[in-house]
Amino acid sequence: MSIARLRLSAFCGITILLLLVKTPNVFAQTTTITGVSYTRTALFDIDTQTPTPALIVNATIGYGDAKAGDYLLVGVFDLDDGNPVSGLGSSIPLPCSSTVGVAGCLVPLAKQQGFERMSFSLDHPKGVWNLALIAALLDNASDPIANSYSDYTFTMTVQTALTFKVNVPVEVPVSVDGVNGSGGSVQLVLAAGNHTISVPQFVSVNNVTRLKFLNWSDGSTALNRNVELDHDITLNGNYVTQYYLHIISPVNVNGTGWYDAGATVTLSIQSNTYSMGGIIGILGGKWVFQNWSQGRSELSSLSAVTLAMNSPQSVNAQWAPDYTVPFAILGFVSVLSAGTFYFTKTRARKSRRPSGLRRSRSKPRVRPRKRKITR
């Protein structure tokens, strides 16, 4: 019998055995399956037809009571349909004659007992894959030896892997399913289903330049959103560059703030004169508009000026102080105060003169002369 026919007959025999086995973990007299490890969850890329990580099953198979010319047959079977799983098998230390396209091994035995370390890679997975690793001894006629088989059942969960790509400016961080990533182009392989994506509204480039979120390429304007991934998706996050406009002025002039790159901004004042604050303003002090300027360059002396926001801007609104009225009031008050002070001081001097020093307006009293008596 040829090797090809032997392999086919052997796997047909194992399939029959599988169909007869209704309960897992059947006791085996001459084969044992130990040290089984396998990929429990994986993503399957539809485009490349490859899983990530690879679907690998490892096991150590022990055998005994074998005769010269017997074979050790081990394979992975789908419990739902009873068929061998497509893939590839290998074994150590003995060489494995693997049936093409089937996750199985057929090893010719020369010893009565021993161990084989086997590895199987599986292809064409299902979403929830109920599998069995089955080992059996075959005689030299490729017939299964009664009570020589053993099995190990397990389940793999394989989700469809899809490509989710997000394109944003390199400065913008992207969060997918709560995991923060770097900016720029972010490409992920994810399971089909619902996923969350989040980006910030503003991203600072420096103190006078920032990025502002506009929308997604599919029209959504949500910063935090859900995406139903049922096919490969590419989303572009659209941002606009904004520049800061700073207005320097002793008088409050509206217009300081952020503007989109390329926007045209018109700055204007409501009046060419504004009252000063404090006591000077109460006395009539005011600011008189002079011009708009940037650095040492005058932009306009008109009340309105137009700027193109092609870069960050700093504009001076030049005002000159006008103290004419306060000075006039203060001068008048000074003169009035001086006159009042002089009048008050003069009157005070007169009121403080001593009464003994006052001159009498009546005639002075004349003392009578003493007459000289002669004898």
**What are 155-193's pLDDT values in tens digits?**
999 988 888 999 999 999 999 998 888 888 888 888 888
Instruction: Indicate whether 150 and 266 sit together in one domain.
Output: no
Instruction: Indicate whether 16 and 104 sit together in one domain.
Output: yes
Segment 69-103, tens digit of pLDDT: 899 999 999 999 889 999 999 999 998 876 668 99
Q: Last residue of a domain, which of 105, 139, 160?
A: 160
**Least confident piece of the model among 56-65, 76-85, 268-277:** 268-277
Indicate whether this model's pTM tops 0.75. Answer: no
Instruction: Indicate whether 9 and 155 sit together in one domain.
Output: yes
Quote the pLDDT of residue 286.
86
Residue 110 lies in a domain: yes
Q: Last residue of a domain, which of 215, 242, 269?
A: 242
Residue 341 lies in a domain: no
Instruction: Indicate whether 253 and 223 sit together in one domain.
Output: no
Instruction: Indicate whether 143 and 38 sit together in one domain.
Output: yes
Instruction: Indicate whether 232 and 264 sit together in one domain.
Output: no
Instruction: Indicate whether 102 and 229 sit together in one domain.
Output: no
Residue 343 lies in a domain: no
Mean local confidence (pLDDT), 300-324: 90
DSSP 279: H
Instruction: Indicate whether 41 and 156 sit together in one domain.
Output: yes
Instruction: Indicate whether 47 and 140 sit together in one domain.
Output: yes
Number of structural domains found in the chain? 3
Instruction: Indicate whether 237 and 256 sit together in one domain.
Output: no
Own/partner contacts of 66-70, CB < 8 Å, gap of 24 or more, are: 66/30, 66/109, 66/111, 66/112, 66/113, 66/137, 67/112, 67/139, 68/109, 68/110, 69/108, 69/109, 69/139, 69/140, 70/109, 70/137, 70/138, 70/139, 70/140, 70/145
Q: Identify residue 32 by its one-letter amino acid code.
A: T
Residue 337 lies in a domain: no
Q: Last residue of a domain, which of 128, 143, 160?
A: 160
What CATH number has the domain bearing residue 58?
Answer: 2.60.40.150
Residue 345 lies in a domain: no
Instruction: Indicate whether 131 and 177 sit together in one domain.
Output: no
Q: State in Å, rounded, how far the first CA of the chain is from the last one.
A: 208
β-pairing, 150-167 vs 233-248, is parallel
Residue-number span of the structural domain to which 299 is assigned? 249-325
